Amino acid sequence: MKRLLLSTAATALLLSPLACDIDKTGNQLLAKKVMVGTLLSTPTVDVSYSAMAGLDAGTLPDGGIREEDRVTVPGQTAAFVFFGTREGDQGQPEPIANATVRLEAVNGKQYNLDNTGVGTYGHTSGFEDDAGVKYQSGATYRFVAVQDGTSHVGTVEEAPSLERIAALHPAEGYVKHMANQGLTLQRPPAAGGKPRTLGFVTVFPLSTNGEKGQPTYSNVPKEPLEFLQLVAVPTEWQAANIPIPGSAFPQTNSNYLVVFQTVKTGGAESDNLFIGSALLVGTADVGMVHTQ
């Protein structure tokens, strides 16, 4: 764990504009508190009953779906934070369960996250929920964990814009695909020759009434330690081509929602937060797959 954390810290040191502040960076390298935070948004998606049945019912002149044929899959924005110390056993950060955690947007709005136990804090808002957490491309987001009156702050700047994946938007309005066959998503070129943002894929089975089931596949890290590893070695999630295994589409004549998240990383802002903390903010492109 120490070797991994040192590798993560070294990578963050090279990538971070804070590296020029030697005193601050030195404090962050030695800081015991560590944070993993995500803010991920998916849009509301309209699909058609006909498309879900593998049929082409046609679209309106503006490309929309006829009202009588429309099924709406609600979007959502989910904020999650793990807050802990680097002194846990067996390589795992030790959770801190008595903190209060909030998300701050660049416009000054603050969203308190619920304490969900074992050092985790979160909140999920519906896409049309005016009072909930909102996602805005280009915005700066601050993750703040307060313990015993002391704030620990991480920041992600310039939240990314949606990255549209052409393969998810054929003329028929859905992807025709064989069950148990892999699918590869090709990302568009990065603008201005810049490094690609991270790309996460999650596949959900979709019922006939538009409800999402439990994911059949995801390459999103699940544990805090995995997020810290992602900071150190992000190349897997920056590839131009994203393969989805055939096991993500196990049933014939079924529908699956493919969610591609474009994600920007950030890091520690305050001196008392470990420089290798992993903070991610992103939005998603969504497409539907109908299996044969």
What is the share, in percent, of the chain residues with pLDDT greater than 90?
58
Q: Identify the helix (H) or strand (E) that includes residue 29.
A: helix 22-30
Range of the domain at 264: 2-291
| Of residues 56 and 276, more confidently modeled | 276
pLDDT per position as a tens digit, 171-207: 877 899 999 999 999 999 887 778 889 999 999 999 8
On the question of pLDDT at 112 being above 80, the answer is yes
Distance of CA 121 to the CA centre of its chain: 16
Give the SS3 label for residue 36. Answer: strand
DSSP state letter for 37: E
pLDDT bucket at 3, cuts 50 / 70 / 90:
very low
On the question of pLDDT at 43 being above 60, the answer is yes
On the question of pLDDT at 1 being above 60, the answer is no
Question: What residue has token string 């903070």?
Answer: 279
Tally of domains within the chain: 1
pLDDT per position as a tens digit, 204-220: 999 888 889 999 999 99
| Of residues 226 and 232, more confidently modeled | 226
pLDDT at 133: 79
CA distance linking residue 92 with residue 85, whole number of Å: 9
pTM, two decimal places = 0.85
pLDDT per position as a tens digit, 238-264: 999 999 999 999 999 999 999 999 999
